Amino acid sequence: MLVFIVLILTNINAQTKNSQKNSALQEGLSKEAIAKADSVFLSFQNTPMQQKLKKNSEVYVGAVYWLPGNYDPAKLLWEFKRMREVGFNVVRFHNIPPVWTGPGKFDFSKSDEWIDLAAKAGLRVIYMSGTPGHIPKSVFDKYGLTRETYDLLDWSKDSRCQAIISEYITTLVTRYKSNPGLYAWAIGGEPGSANQSLDNDIDKQGFIQWLTDHYGTVENLEKTWNFDPGDTMVTSFEDAWKESLTPGNFRKTAAVLRDKTRYLIDKSLNRENFIAGLYQKLDDIHPTLNGSHQLLYNQASLAWDNSLHADNSDQHFSSIHLAWHFEPVFGEFIRPSYMMSRLTHDYSKKPWTSCFETTGGPVQYSGGYPNSMTPGLMRSLMLNYLAGGNNAIAFWTWNHRLGGIEAGEYGMTTYSGEIAPWTIEAGKIANGMFKYKKELWDARQDLEVGLLQEWDNDFAYSVESNRFDNMDGVSEYTRGTKSEPLKALIGVSRACINNHVPFEYVTGDEISKGLAARYPCIYAPHIRAISKENISALTEYVKAGGRLIADVEFAFFDPWSKMHPKGKGSQMEQLFGAWIDIIHDTRTGEKSLGSIDIRGLYGDIKLTNARVISSFTDGTPAITEYRLGRGTAVLIGFAAAKMCHLQGDSPKTESLITQLIESNVQRKWQCSAPMSYCLRTKEADHYFLLNDDAEQPAFIKVYDSEYISGSDVITGNPVEVNGTISVTIPKESAMWLRFEKVPKN
């Protein structure tokens, strides 16, 4: 054991010295640049509701209670009391909407009783409200609409749709706004993508107007869409609409489909924004919640844009199911659940986010992957969610369904009705969340890197040709070239997790708004498509002292899949002091970097002002670095991040990525656990240690803080804080440690 400790501490010290040694490579971001980015970050949170939530340090833990049809009020009350006794403070109702019987006529009898029973048990209700599912024909007749027309229209722009939706929401809010049992309005569970075909008069006019708003003239549209000199693609906006129905020549397809998809997304977002705005206008007491799911899938291929979808409500939440949402990593769940936890929080950049519909129990058949549930697994999932910045958690479901799909699955109670051991564990963690809720709200990470995701990039891959060797996904959602950017994002995330590098996801839209200087380093994994404007924003970030790392695919296309110019004087050459002159694939020729066997794409790097910091075994440049202003730009001549897609794919490449990220970073703490995360406040530091293997010791070394005392939040056991902190992590489980700081003058 002593030898083991010495080896770990020696490795920690060596890494620290190496980080300090390399810190002179760039001057780094100025305090002014960081402060400006922090101001942008805080602007995302500057709403009256966010300030109210922060003042109250709102935290919730709860579960769905599922019971369609008839019910026994006494049994319902008993179940709600058990939920409260476990430690939950909210219940989510998924099947109690008011029954709309005609214009101005609603039956609230079921929802009235359920909310009252929950309140008697000490629970508050998250009401799944949204928009009406069933709308009586008499209501449509009143406004001269049909269901089919209603489903096609942009509700935010049609007064008849607005009147129908307003009647429902106004009636609902008026009835429950003053009810003490109400906690929040959950207005949606996943992004809609509207009607995928534009072959109807409503979408024809809508798309033509969208194109007019975005391009102004047909000439501007033609210039953007058409990359074939001497050929004319469209002569009118109506021609453009026709192209969206039958894109025709494959060479022209990408730009047409890109704008068609953006139109559909904007239509969906307009609807959501109208609905959220109406709830918020009618009720300034209760927050609105809105969600998304399948976070590791290509969102653009689904006609979703989660970064915008996350902005329209007071809380962004996600669905994270072990059975359904881990297809891109073939069922692996511990590290990917942290990635999804981070995406849940980072798409929003608001302090109040939730892993809102997460697996509550074991699953046999109803998803792509079955799962067990244990107290240790429950710990690991919940602590991943907390470590990712989510201060609210809810489960699917408290009770299992009695027949059909999901029968006997997901439950936090057993078939005989007993409260499951993992549910008791969830209650213990909930108690810790309530005890330290203010610290969870005030907590921050020592961010080392922002991992860049671009919607246009994801879309560009979704319309690329499929290769035979990327058809390994297990369904249409993860099979083919569209999965490539997500494999790379997962890969660089994995490198950070396995090497304890604190990271946050950042979008191209956020970079354009001025958030870049929030991160000492930005890593652009497989960013094949990016706008000229965002390349300029990243260039300014580097000049200001940031460090940009990009791989071989960077800036190949613009958002409409037209190639960016390369060579001397190009944006890429000005940013990197080099460019990728041609891209190859290792299928027909081996390539290596020392002991790392390169897999997939690699490029020939042409240099102007950059220096080579690593060469392939054949002597050609593999990685270059260019000093630009106060910062540095690193170009990796191969698909490093994608090579780390699955656990164990390339640990050496993971280490290489980490070294490049940390060349100008001095770590403030280090840990030997398989996975570790830290949330820091003025009063205390919270460490989340996860272990997906056998029971093992873990050590924490802190360089910038002194602690008065330490404790295991879940068990209440004290933890010694003198010198190197030592704990034992249980098998396939996790720990939540809190260390109170020595006050600073």
Tell me if 229 is assigned to some domain. yes
How many angstroms separate the first and last alpha carbons of the chain?
39
Q: Phi, psi (5° rounding) for residue 297?
A: -95, 165
Please choose, from the candidates 663, 636, 654, the residue with its C-alpha nearest in 3D space to the C-alpha of residue 524. Answer: 636
Domain end position, chosen among 606, 636, 664: 664
Report the pLDDT value the prediction gives residue 251, as an integer from 0 to 100.
53
Which pairing describes strands 578-585 and 601-607: parallel, antiparallel, or unpaired?
antiparallel
How far apart CA 745 and CA 743 sit, in angstroms, is: 7
The verdict on 631 and 687 lying in the same domain is no
Lowest mean pLDDT among 1-15, 88-102, 590-604: 1-15
Q: CATH number of the domain that 726 lies in?
A: 2.60.40.1180
The verdict on 623 and 680 lying in the same domain is no
The verdict on 208 and 221 lying in the same domain is yes
Mapped onto helix, strand or coil, the DSSP state of residue 599 is: coil
The verdict on 516 and 593 lying in the same domain is yes
Tell me if 235 is assigned to some domain. yes
Report the pLDDT value the prediction gives residue 248, as an integer from 0 to 100.
59
Report the pLDDT value the prediction gives residue 120, as an integer from 0 to 100.
98
Residue 32 CB: number of other CB atoms within 10 A? 10
Tell me if 720 is assigned to some domain. yes
Answer yes or no: is pLDDT of 1 > 60.
no
Q: Give the mean pLDDT of the chain.
A: 93
The tokens describing 145, both together, are 């609409």
Q: Are 603 and 520 in contact (CB under 8 A)?
A: no
The verdict on 641 and 715 lying in the same domain is no
What is the rounded average pLDDT of the residues 200-224? 97
- H or E stretch at 64: strand 60-65
The verdict on 642 and 692 lying in the same domain is no
Tell me if 554 is assigned to some domain. yes
How many structural domains comprise the chain?
A: 3
Q: pLDDT-based confidence at 130, cuts 50/70/90?
A: confident
Domain end position, chosen among 209, 236, 261: 261
The verdict on 685 and 658 lying in the same domain is no
Q: Are 478 and 372 in contact (CB under 8 A)?
A: no
Residue type, 203: D
The tokens describing 367, both together, are 């998803």
The verdict on 632 and 690 lying in the same domain is no
Q: CATH number of the domain that 610 lies in?
A: 3.40.50.880
Q: Which residue range(s) make up the domain with 234?
A: 201-261
Answer yes or no: is pLDDT of 371 > 50.
yes
The verdict on 725 and 580 lying in the same domain is no
- pLDDT tens digits along 693-733: 999 999 999 999 999 999 999 999 999 998 999 999 999 99
Domain end position, chosen among 213, 246, 261: 261
- pLDDT tens digits along 236-248: 999 999 999 976 5
Q: pLDDT-based confidence at 12, cuts 50/70/90?
A: very low
What is the rounded average pLDDT of the residues 549-555? 97
Residue partners of 91: CB distance under 8 A and separation at least 6: 62, 63, 64, 65, 80, 83, 118, 123, 124, 125, 126, 398
Q: Are 283 and 177 in contact (CB under 8 A)?
A: yes
Tell me if 257 is assigned to some domain. yes
Tell me if 620 is assigned to some domain. yes
Q: Are 531 and 554 in contact (CB under 8 A)?
A: no
- pLDDT tens digits along 637-665: 999 999 999 999 999 999 999 999 998 78
Report the pLDDT value the prediction gives residue 16, as an integer from 0 to 100.
33
Lowest mean pLDDT among 47-61, 129-143, 150-164, 362-376: 129-143
Lowest mean pLDDT among 7-16, 309-318, 510-519: 7-16
More confident residue, 16 or 665: 665
Report the pLDDT value the prediction gives residue 202, as an integer from 0 to 100.
96
293 - beta bridge partners? 319
Report the pLDDT value the prediction gives residue 21, as an integer from 0 to 100.
40
How far apart CA 8 and CA 700 sit, in angstroms, is: 10
Residue 551 CB: number of other CB atoms within 10 A? 29
Go through the chain and tell me how many residues it has. 745
Tell me if 76 is assigned to some domain. no
Tell me if 396 is assigned to some domain. no
The verdict on 654 and 698 lying in the same domain is no
Answer yes or no: is pLDDT of 11 > 70.
no
The verdict on 585 and 640 lying in the same domain is yes
The verdict on 630 and 703 lying in the same domain is no
